[in-house]
Structure 1
């Protein structure tokens, strides 16, 4: 995934400003209240800053990736599906997929 950074370039700012929610439209809450698709809780999904700034969106998604790693899930699987969501929505995906 992208390296953590406090300052975003103008290109990164544009990418993150247009980033859709990290929800990948599975929405089945079976893992202790966490979605089996993105591992977010319902409250976390509602907290995504749809109209927030690029740095807020980036921080939210970086936290999601860290949570996936912490619970032993490979974030690349989520990232692959998220990339497809971005393509469907016609926006560039702000994350890279590491295998």
Structure 2
């Protein structure tokens, strides 16, 4: 089985400021440190938890409606059940 893909959908434009002042990607809501932190995580449960965290972060920030469809498509392509 393939591993859970990163929540990044390859747009990577860091313009949105979050509540803590960090710049978030306009597509996936990840900050640069979050994006770096996801890559070395190998455990499926931990990867799923990080994706759910990002989904909650997006809901709190608003404006990321297109992400879910793009992420679900990426999961389907890899044959992975999406954690969100």
- Bin the TM-score by the shorter chain: 0.7 to 0.9
TM-score (norm 1): 0.67
Instruction: Give the match for residue 22 of structure 1.
Output: 7
Q: Which runs of 5+ in 2 are unaligned?
A: 18-22
1:22/1:50 Cα in 2 relative to 1: closer, same or farther (>3 Å)? Answer: farther
Instruction: Give the match for residue 81 of structure 2.
Output: 94
CA distance in 2, matches of 1:93, 1:69: 23
1:72 CA displacement: 2.2
TM-score (norm 2): 0.77
1:50/1:68 Cα in 2 relative to 1: closer, same or farther (>3 Å)? Answer: same
**Are 1:82 and 2:82 matched, yes or no?**
no
RMSD over aligned Cα atoms: 2.3
Question: 1:15-72: per-residue Cα shift (whole Å, max 9, x none)?
Answer: xx61111100000001021000100001100111445201101100010011011112
Q: Secondary structure at the match of 2:78?
A: coil
Q: Which runs of 5+ in 1 are unaligned?
A: 1-13
**Are 1:58 and 2:48 matched, yes or no?**
yes
Greater Rg by CA? 1
